[in-house]
């Protein structure tokens, strides 16, 4: 087991705009042993939760999300930026620390009563994740779990979620 995953996260100052300290998770994925450990940690956390769908947020949620879905025997659902999904979609707009944006999901992505794990690389102010949770709630799931690889605790992104949303992160700053 790798004890300090933080050492594998690259910090990029002033990206994508001045004042942002970007946490680059791609450095976590380039070594097989670290990728395997992340996969094992996530699987161990959610293997007994009855997850039927893993939803990953564009784009870094598309890396661990499908890996985890396969291990859990669940389907994978992409949550994407506008204009990327070809069929009918739901859309939610949100503010983030350096602008505004929106996310979309196919209207037929999830069936009512499913248990969904929402995965992304980073929880900062919570805008993207909160919008994604609102998208998933349109399907009336039994439960929504939220997982991020990294959480920037001082930005208090968790405060944007309802109390019943279960949130877990692996690396905290």
Here the tokens at position 65 are 């999300």
**From the candidates 31, 91, 97, 153, which is the catalytic residue?**
97
Calpha distance 66→75 (Å, rounded): 8
Any catalytic annotation for residue 134? Answer: no
CB atoms within 10 A of CB 95: 13
Rounded to whole angstroms, how far apart are CA atoms 142 and 119? 17
The answer to whether 95 and 86 have CB atoms below 8 angstroms apart is: no
| The one catalytic residue among 60, 80, 92, 114 | 60
Torsion sign (Cα): 131, 136, 141, 147: negative
Count other Cβ atoms within 10 Å, centred on residue 79.
30
Q: Are strands 89-96 and 99-106 parallel, antiparallel or unpaired?
A: antiparallel
Note if 114 is an active site residue: no
Active site (catalytic) residues: 60, 97
């Amino acid at each position: 087991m790798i004890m300090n995953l933080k050492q594998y996260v690259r910090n990029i100052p002033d990206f994508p705009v001045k004042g942002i300290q970007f946490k680059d998770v791609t450095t976590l994925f380039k070594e097989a042993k670290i990728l395997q450990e992340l996969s094992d940690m996530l699987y161990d956390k959610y293997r007994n939760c009855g997850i039927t769908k893993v939803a990953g947020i564009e784009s870094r949620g598309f890396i661990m999300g499908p890996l985890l879905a396969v291990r859990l025997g669940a389907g994978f659902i992409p949550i994407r930026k506008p204009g990327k999904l070809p069929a009918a979609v739901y859309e939610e707009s949100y503010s983030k620390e350096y602008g505004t944006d929106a996310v979309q999901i196919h209207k037929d992505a999830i069936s009512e009563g499913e248990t969904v794990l929402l995965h992304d690389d980073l929880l900062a102010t919570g805008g993207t994740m909160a919008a994604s949770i609102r998208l998933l709630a349109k399907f009336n799931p039994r439960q929504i779990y939220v997982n991020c690889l990294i959480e920037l605790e001082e930005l208090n992104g968790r405060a944007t979620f309802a109390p019943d949303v279960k949130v877990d992160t692996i690396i905290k700053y």
